[in-house]
């Protein structure tokens, strides 16, 4: 991954880190601050949905079982992937940074001094995390198209070529190379999945809202 792509993932890590700390603030349990909990819940839900959509297609290929008669199933999966990629489906992999900015400035930004009255460093760290997340569009686009989609496309092209030659072993070898190359990405997406799920549960409780996104 390039530095820009790593930076895009780092912005999500930063949010998870600081939102997890904020969820433990007693003040967020007070009714006056419920709108902030609602906003943080909404941000966490958007990130979680984006992460799940990225992981869904990645895992569909990483975990594909190349049995001797798997060629038809693989071509069907590839067809579904290409149909989704050509339509609006892949936009679901990317949360809209402008939406994050709007939610952040709705209640959170102006209330940070009240949430963290004796810790300017912590307040500034939260601002930095949300500013980074709100301005990550270019980095996220590069990450999704160059790393996620680019990696899948390269594997698909290689595996299809091997299957066309009747080389099921070669197709499986291509999958294993893809799995090895995607190791770091898979690890980060799994880490995000756990952290964001914890945040959705925590802020849904504080906001007295369902965990399903609206």
Q: What's the pLDDT at 77?
A: 96
Pick from 149, 153, 133, 158: nearest CA to 185 = 149
Pick from 128, 114, 123: nearest CA to 10 = 128
Sorted by sequence, the CB contacts under 8 Å of residue 164 that are 6+ apart come out as none
Q: What's the pLDDT at 54?
A: 86
Q: Where do the structural domains in the chain lie, given as residue ranges?
A: 3-207
Alpha-carbon distance 12 to 7, whole Å? 9
Q: What's the pLDDT at 98?
A: 84
Residue numbers of the chain with a pLDDT score lower than 50: none
Q: What's the pLDDT at 212?
A: 85
Q: Provide the token pair at 129.
A: 């995390």
Q: What's the pLDDT at 118?
A: 83
Q: What's the pLDDT at 147?
A: 83
Q: What's the pLDDT at 5?
A: 59
DSSP 8-state code for residue 182: T
Alpha-carbon distance 25 to 206, whole Å? 10
Q: What's the pLDDT at 2?
A: 57
Q: What's the pLDDT at 135?
A: 82
Q: What's the pLDDT at 210?
A: 92
Q: What's the pLDDT at 43?
A: 93
Q: What's the pLDDT at 3?
A: 58
- Whole-model pTM: value is 0.87
Helix then strand count (H, E) for the chain reads: 10, 0
């Amino acid at each position: 991954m390039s530095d820009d792509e790593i930076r895009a993932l780092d912005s999500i890590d930063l949010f998870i880190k600081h939102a997890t700390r904020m969820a433990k603030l007693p003040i967020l349990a007070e009714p006056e601050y419920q709108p902030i909990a609602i906003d943080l819940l909404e941000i966490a839900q958007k990130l979680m949905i984006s992460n799940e959509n990225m992981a869904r297609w990645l895992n569909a290929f990483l975990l594909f079982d190349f049995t001797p008669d798997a060629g038809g199933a693989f071509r069907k999966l590839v067809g579904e992937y290409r149909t989704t990629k050509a339509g609006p489906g892949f936009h679901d992999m990317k949360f809209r940074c402008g939406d994050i900015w709007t939610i952040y400035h709705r209640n959170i930004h102006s209330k940070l001094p009240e949430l963290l009255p004796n810790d300017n460093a912590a307040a500034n760290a939260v601002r930095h995390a949300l500013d980074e997340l709100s301005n990550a569009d270019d980095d996220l686009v590069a990450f999704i198209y160059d790393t996620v989609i680019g990696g899948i496309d390269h594997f698909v092209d290689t595996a299809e070529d091997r299957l066309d030659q009747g080389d099921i072993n070669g197709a499986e070898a291509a999958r294993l190379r893809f799995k090895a190359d995607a190791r770091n990405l898979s690890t980060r997406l799994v880490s995000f999945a756990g952290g964001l799920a914890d945040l959705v549960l925590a802020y849904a409780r504080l906001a007295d809202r369902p965990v399903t996104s609206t």
